[in-house]
DNA sequence: GTGAAAGCGCTAACAT
DNA sequence: ATGTTAGCGCTTTCAC
């Protein structure tokens, strides 16, 4: 029933030319008589030819595929992996990353293979995948700073680009945000609107970005004469934001301004504040981080530090493409500047 | 610097055997002397050999890769594509789908390539991708019922499995949920707790699942003597839930129970109700659908109709695997039963 | 149980 | 401008 798929040979015969000529037409190489080009094109049409990618890859040593790996640090059992995927995508942040990456890849006919690497075994699989030449390189988004994957990739000399600077230096390109500057913007804004009893819900402190956001917030406040800043550590999830805000409020009921290290936690904070009878922003002002979709849907809409995630993700993909092409050889860091988006919450 | 990657030939030479023997060992084919197996294994170790997948694919005609395509019906411009990806992942539903799929694929060394098909051009790319043999089949998750992609895939006789039954019959396997039964559960629960002024926030009515949830809700109420049910159409997004609830409340201020067609909209409904001074569930009871992560984090936690998404997604992947293997040939429908999860909102 | 050899479908260097 | 040809690295009969 399912007949053999037409090959270059078939098209060549049909068009009355050689394989090479058909190949040239398919790959858009010049130096082919327009007449013949048309001839070939029609033959392709008639036969319904589609070039076999495996055969092409075998000789070009390119797959036009990149691994998009979401990487954790842990050594989670395989059972937890399922949940890992779901958890990761629960943060709108990753949707934006994917959007940005796909936006760059697709016009170039590059395709992302989704991989999760939250265990040692899974990391090994990623390496094998690349060494088998199933993908030309890797885009790595780590959920923890001490993720071992980047170093493994660098050691194997496999093309890879990271989202966020790794905690220990690794000779790989990465894109990142000036987190300190973002936290600085948040602090200045809260102070400017008159808040004097500030607290912060940090991200997980084993993540470099969290540390920097916290440090930036503290530094700015210190410079304005607030040496002590109450901190509650969260996990970038909604629940953790809720817990952290409750904790903060218990310890410092007089709090009148909060900086949350991401929007999800900021939303949690708003929920708790409302439940405890505090008006946002009248009684307590809240500033988030990311400017994700929930910043707009949150009640009240969040004043937040905008991270140009899509742009960063696209840039990451571009860097990888350049490394694969050999156009770029040295590891490069690209750091983006955040900006404050003022809405209702502060 | 970057030396040629070791091939089967290199390993064979190193081990002092033939290519064929090494191949047999690599592919775990019996009838190889244990002694020699060990010999070969060591040679592989020493050389750091990794089989070239393109070469293997060329002869096996398998890539061990499947396309995971998120498909819209529209003819969105390419510009909107970026946003499409982000929007899709904003619903935790897709995270669960991905989790379920990956959970099945990974233990079998199968890998998903992420594709978005929201325009005619993008759909054509998916077809081409498969016809080039870059993936062995497709897992399709449509956002609209009148998605043209399933029919295209079926016509091209490409292996594919759908999430949700397509609006017009297509000879492809699919998994689905008994949506009517789910809505029935919701209705019965609301009635049982004493609600008498019921309304519903439906999903987009061009989606079959939305229609069925609505129909199921209506039917059950009708059977209990409530022939008329106020409906506000939403779009499965938080905003649309907010808008719809506000609308419903304007038209029927006496409403004491609401069934929302997904949790995201249920959350929006809760927000609006609280803002308008209604207590949930005391004044208005709310039932959601999906039992996604937000059902737990929502204030109050949502009573909702559980859809076993991960399980469904895994089953979808399994069906595809069977079709690819040729173990299964006829299109098969697998319909899952929902169950009610009672929390605080109703 | 193991080896020899024939392709899989394509690209690219070389020849014409 | 077009054709000829030699591989790319692997699996898989088919002999032995």
pLDDT tens, residue by residue, A161-214: 999 999 899 999 999 999 999 999 999 999 999 999 999 999 999 888 999 999
Q: Does B77 touch chain A (CB under 8 A)?
A: no
Q: Which residue of A has its CA nearest to B135?
A: A53
pLDDT band at B77 (very low <50, low <70, confident <90, very high): low
| Angstrom distance (rounded) from CA B135 to CA A64 | 13
Q: Nearest 5 degrees, angle CA B116-CA A306-CA A111?
A: 20
Q: Is residue B26's beta carbon less than 7 angstroms from any atom in nucleic acid strand D?
A: yes
Query: Cα B55 from chain centroid?
Result: 32
Query: What was the pLDDT predicted at A87?
Result: 78
Which whole-number Å values give the CA distances from B272 to A299, A332, B203, B300, in the listed order?
10, 48, 18, 13
Chain B CB contacts of A82 under 8 Å are 99-100, 102-103, 310
B151 class by beta-carbon count within 10 Å (0-12 exposed, 13-18 middle, 19+ buried): middle
B99–A85 C-beta distance less than 8 A: yes
> DSSP labels for B202-245?
E--TTSHHHHHHHHHHHHHHHHTT-----EEE--SSHHHHHHHH
Residues in chain A: 346
Q: Which residue's CA lies closest to nucleotide C13 at its C1' atom?
A: A20
More confident residue, A41 or B146: A41
Residue pair B343/B300 in contact by the 8 Å Cβ criterion:
yes
Residue B1 confidence (pLDDT)? 47
pLDDT score, position A1: 46
Q: Which residues contact B278 (CB under 8 A, 6 or more apart)?
A: B249, B284
How many angstroms separate the Cα of A135 from the Cα of each of A67, A124, A164, B252?
A: 6, 15, 22, 57
Considering only A83-97, B46-60, B307-321, which range has the smallest mean pLDDT?
A: A83-97
From the CA of A41 to the C1' of C14: give the distance in Å: 26
What's residue A207's pLDDT? Answer: 86
Q: If we measure between CA atoms, which residue out of A138, A142, A156 comes closest to residue A316?
A: A138
Pairing of strands A137-142, A160-163: parallel
The pLDDT confidence band at residue A44, using thresholds 50, 70 and 90, is very high
State how far the Cα of A209 lies from the Cα of A181, in Å rounded to an integer.
12
Which class would CATH give B179-306?
alpha beta
- Measured CA to CA, the distance from residue B175 to residue B157 in angstroms comes to 19
CA distances (Å), origin B264, targets B92, B99, B200, B304: 9, 19, 14, 11
Beta carbons of B159 and B143 less than 8 angstroms apart: no
The closest alpha carbon to B55, from A145, A42, A207, A56, belongs to A56
Q: Rounded distance, CA A98 to CA A107, Å?
A: 15
Provide the whole-model pTM: 0.93
Residue A285 pairs in a beta bridge with A257
Contacts of B99 in chain A (CB under 8 A): 82-86, 89
Name the pairing type of β-strands B285-290 and A160-163: unpaired
Q: Tell me the C-alpha to C-alpha distance, in Å, between residue B206 and each of A201, A274, B80, B142.
A: 42, 37, 20, 12
Question: How many interface pairs between A and B have CB atoms less than 8 angstroms apart?
Answer: 160
The pLDDT assigned to A74 comes to: 65
Distance CA A173, CA B338 (A): 47
* Reduced 3-state DSSP string for chain A: CCCCCCCHHHHHHHHCCCHHHHHHHHCCCCCCCHHHHHHHHHHHHHHCCCCCHHHHHHHHCCCCEEEEEEECCCCCCCHHHHHHHHHHHHCHHHHHHHHHHHHHHHHHCCEEEEEEECCHHHHHHHHHHHHCCCCCEEEEEECCCCCCHHHHHHHCCCCEEEECCCCCCCCCEEEEECHHHHHHHHHHHHHHCCCCCEEEEECCCCCHHHHHHHHHHHHHHHHCCCCCCCEEECCCCHHHHHHHHHHHHHHCCCCCEEEECCHHHHHHHHHHHHHCCCCCCCCCEEEEEECCHHHHHCCCCCEEEECCHHHHHHHHHHHHHHHHHCCCCCCCEEEECCEEECCCCC
- Residue A73 clears pLDDT 70, i.e. is over it: no
- Nearest Cα residue in chain B from A109: B125
Q: Is the pLDDT of residue A13 over 60?
A: yes
Average pLDDT, integer, range A42-55 = 96
Nearest protein residue by Cα to C1' of nucleotide D11: B59
In the predicted model, is pLDDT for residue B104 greater than 80?
yes
Q: How far apart are CA A24 and CA A32, in angstroms?
A: 7
Give residue A77's Cα distance to chain centre. Answer: 24
What is the distance in angstroms measured between the alpha-carbon CA of A61 and the sugar C1' of C14? Answer: 21
A17 touches strand D (CB under 7 A): yes
Q: What average pLDDT does the segment B54-81 reach?
A: 85
Average pLDDT over residues B41-62: 96
pLDDT at B342: 98
Q: Which of A66-80, A113-127, B174-188 has the lowest mean pLDDT?
A: A66-80
Give the CATH superfamily of A65-177+309-336: Response regulator (3.40.50.2300)
Residue with tokens 């804004």: A189
* Residue in chain B lying closest to A134 (CA): B53
Whether A329 has its CB under 8 Å from any CB of chain B: the answer is: no
A220 vs A195: CA distance, rounded Å: 14
Q: H or E element: which one contains B91?
A: none
pLDDT at A77 (0 to 100):
56
| pLDDT, position B83 | 76
What tokens appear for B198 in the block? 């019921």
Q: Is A156 on the interface with B (CB under 8 A)?
A: no
**Proximity of residue A40 CB to strand D below 7 A:** no
Q: Which residues fall within 8 angstroms of residue B37, CB to CB, at 6 or more apart? A: B25
Among A27-31, A251-255, B147-151, B316-320, whose mean pLDDT is lowest? A27-31
Q: Which residue is nearest to nucleotide C9 (CA to C1')?
A: A55
Domain with CATH 1.10.260.40 in chain A: 8-60
Residue A232 β-bridge partners? A201
Give A212→chain B minimum CA distance, Å: 26
Cross-chain Cβ contact A94/B94 below 8 Å: no
CA of B199 to C1' of D3 (A): 74
Length of chain B: 346
Of the candidates B94, B71, B53, B67, the residue with the CA atom closest to the CA atom of residue B159: B67
Token pair for A303: 């004043």
Q: Which chain A residues are closer than 8 Å to B296 by Cβ?
A: 239
Residue B213: per-residue pLDDT: 98
Q: Does B207 touch chain A (CB under 8 A)?
A: no
Taking the C1' atom of every nucleotide in all shown strands and the CA of B56, the nearest one is D10
Residues of chain A with C-beta less than 8 angstroms from the C-beta of B98: 85-86, 89, 114
Please state, in angstroms and rounded to a whole number, the distance separating the CA atoms of residues A190 and A305: 12
Burial class (CB in 10 A: 0-12, 13-18, 19+), A198: buried
What percentage of residues in chain A have a pLDDT greater than 70? Answer: 96
Higher model confidence: residue B88 or residue B15? Answer: B15
Residues of chain B with CATH 3.40.50.2300: 65-177+309-336, 179-306
Q: How far is A222 from chain B (nearest CA, A)?
A: 35
Say if CB A183 and CB A210 are below 8 A apart. no
* Mutation site, A55, A240, A297, interface B, largest B CB count within 10 A: A297
Give the integer Cα–Cα distance in Å for A85 and B97: 9
Separation of A54 CA and C2 C1' (Å) = 29
Contact A227, A260 (CB under 8 A): no
The pLDDT, as a whole number, for residue A108 is 96
- Tell me, yes or no, if A304 comes closer than 8 A to chain B by beta carbon: no
Q: How far is the CA of A35 from the C1' of C15 (A)?
A: 23
**pLDDT value at position A80?**
61
Q: A342 CB near a chain B CB, below 8 Å? A: no
Which CATH topology does B8-60 take? 434 Repressor (Amino-terminal Domain) (1.10.260)
Residue B301: pLDDT above 70? yes
Q: What is the pLDDT of residues B5-25, one digit of tens each?
A: 999 999 999 999 999 999 999
What is the distance between the alpha carbons of residues B299 and B317, in angstroms, rounded to a whole number? 34
**What local confidence, expressed as pLDDT, does residue A279 receive?**
96
Check: CB of residue B132 under 8 Å from CB of residue A51.
yes
- B3 pLDDT more than 50: yes
The count of other CB atoms within 10 Å of the CB of residue A27 is 10
Contacts of A253 (CB under 8 A, 6+ apart): none
Closest chain B C-alpha to A221 CA, distance in angstroms: 32
Predicted local confidence at residue A81, as pLDDT: 64
């Amino acid at each position: 029933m399912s007949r053999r798929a037409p090959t270059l040979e078939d098209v060549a015969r049909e068009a009355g030319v050689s394989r090479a000529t058909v190949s040239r037409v398919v790959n858009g190489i010049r130096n082919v008589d327009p007449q013949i080009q048309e001839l070939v094109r029609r033959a392709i049409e008639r036969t319904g030819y589609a070039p076999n990618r495996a055969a092409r890859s075998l000789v070009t040593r390119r797959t036009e595929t990149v691994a998009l790996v979401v990487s954790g640090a842990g050594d989670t059992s395989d059972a937890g992996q399922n949940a890992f995927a779901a958890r990761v995508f629960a943060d709108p942040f990753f949707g934006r990353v994917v959007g940005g990456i796909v936006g760059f890849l697709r016009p170039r006919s590059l395709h992302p293979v989704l991989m999760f690497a939250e265990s040692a075994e899974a990391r090994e699989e990623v390496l094998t995948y690349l060494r088998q030449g199933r993908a030309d390189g890797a885009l790595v988004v780590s959920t923890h700073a001490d993720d071992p994957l980047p170093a493994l990739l660098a050691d194997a000399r496999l093309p890879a680009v990271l989202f966020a600077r790794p905690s220990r230096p690794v000779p790989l390109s990465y894109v990142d945000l000036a987190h300190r500057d973002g936290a600085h913007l948040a602090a200045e804004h809260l102070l400017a609107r008159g808040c004097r009893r500030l607290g912060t819900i940090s991200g997980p402190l084993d993540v470099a970005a969290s540390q920097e956001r916290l440090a930036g917030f503290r530094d700015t406040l210190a410079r304005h004469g607030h040496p002590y800043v109450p901190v509650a550590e969260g996990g970038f999830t909604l629940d953790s934001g809720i817990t952290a805000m409750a904790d903060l409020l218990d310890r410092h009921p007089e709090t009148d301004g909060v900086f949350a290290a991401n929007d999800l936690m900021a939303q949690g904070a708003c929920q708790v504040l409302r439940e405890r009878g505090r008006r946002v922003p009248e009684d307590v002002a809240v500033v988030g981080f990311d400017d994700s979709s929930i910043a707009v849907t949150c009640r009240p809409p969040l004043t937040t530090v905008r991270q140009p995630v899509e742009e960063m993700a696209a840039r990451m993909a571009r860097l990888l493409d350049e490394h694969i092409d050999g156009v770029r050889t040295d590891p490069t860091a690209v750091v983006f500047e955040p900006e404050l988006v003022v809405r209702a919450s502060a």
